[in-house]
Chain A
Amino acid sequence: MILPLDIILIVFTVICAIAAIQIKDLLSAVIILGAFSFFMCLLYAQMGAVDVAFTEACVGAGVGTVFFIAAVNKTKRRAKD
């Protein structure tokens, strides 16, 4: 574990989480959620959990983002809040 890298990654994840729930454009919010998942995957790899990291990268960030984008395309893109 490298301490400065860990702290930078954690700050980025928190920033991405806040941005994902505050942005009114749903497609942008979903893409930022994918970036959040990738930062979290880097954090797992940093802590030595390599198996969790690559499962999060392909299932959490990849398939999850595709599901979200498909659902947003079938419904409305604008959110009120």
Chain B
Amino acid sequence: MFEYIVSKFNYWAYICLMMIGLYAMIVKGNLVKKLIGMNIFQVSIILFYVSVGAKSGGATVPILTAEDIHHAHAHVLANPLQYMNPLPHVLMLTAIVVGIATTGVALAIIIMIYNRYKTLEEDEILVIRKESGV
């Protein structure tokens, strides 16, 4: 049982990082801190997907070398145990780029909020909005 829990340590790290990011998004008052929490949250999900695709025991990405092509027993190449799943990797490439795009849009909105309210703290922004009657 202990071996089973320790062998899945990537998933425990993924849960820890995800909860750290969620805590930062909910509790922290500064808007940049909230955005840092969102980044940590995204990266933890990417870690989860890459961990799903990883395989121990010398498995690699599916690449044919020149020696493999001229190999007499070409059927050993069809052994799927030697290859790990590349599908989560490809999905996560898209996720990284989408994550950086959302971060850029969020930072632009933060700069506009700062230009209007001259502060980045959530509670001060709420007080200013209540005083101005918006």
Instruction: Tell me, yes or no, whether A binds B.
Output: yes
Q: Who on chain A is nearest to B42 by CB?
A: A60
Q: Is the CB of A33 within 8 A of B39?
A: yes
Q: Is the CB of B110 within 8 A of A17?
A: no
Interface string of B93-134 (1 = CB under 8 A from A): 100110110011001001100100001110000000000000
How would you classify the secondary structure of chain A's contact residues: helix, strand, loop or mixed?
A: helix
A52 to B84, CA, bound (A): 14
- The number of chain B residues with a CB under 8 A from chain A is 49
A20-B36, A37-B43, A75-B110 known; A60 vs B96 contact (CB < 8 Å): yes
Q: Is the CB of B29 within 8 A of A67?
A: no
A10 at the interface (CB under 8 A from B): yes
Q: Is the CB of A71 within 8 A of B110?
A: yes
Q: Is the CB of A71 within 8 A of B111?
A: yes
Q: Is the CB of B13 within 8 A of A14?
A: yes
Q: Looking at chain A, what size class is its interface with the partner chain? A: 35 or more
Contact of A47 among B29, B50, B93, B121 (CB under 8 A): B50
A16 to B116, CA, bound (A): 32
For chain A, residues 62 to 76, give those with C-beta under 8 angstroms from any C-beta of chain B: 63-64, 67-68, 70-72, 74-76
Contact of B40 among A6, A17, A72, A76 (CB under 8 A): A17
Taking the closest CB of chain B, its distance from the CB of A52, in whole angstroms, is 5
Contact of B24 among A7, A21, A50 (CB under 8 A): A21
For chain A, residues 40 to 81, give those with C-beta under 8 angstroms from any C-beta of chain B: 40, 43-44, 47-52, 55-56, 59-60, 63-64, 67-68, 70-72, 74-76, 79-81
List 9 interface pairs A-B (beta carbons < 8 Å), by A numbering.
Answer: A13-B13, A43-B47, A44-B50, A49-B89, A52-B89, A55-B93, A56-B46, A67-B104, A79-B30
- List residues of chain B with CB under 8 Å of any chain A CB: 9-10, 13, 16-17, 20-21, 23-24, 28-30, 32-33, 35-37, 39-40, 43, 46-47, 50-51, 53-56, 59-61, 84, 89-90, 92-93, 96-97, 99-100, 103-104, 107, 110-111, 114, 119-121
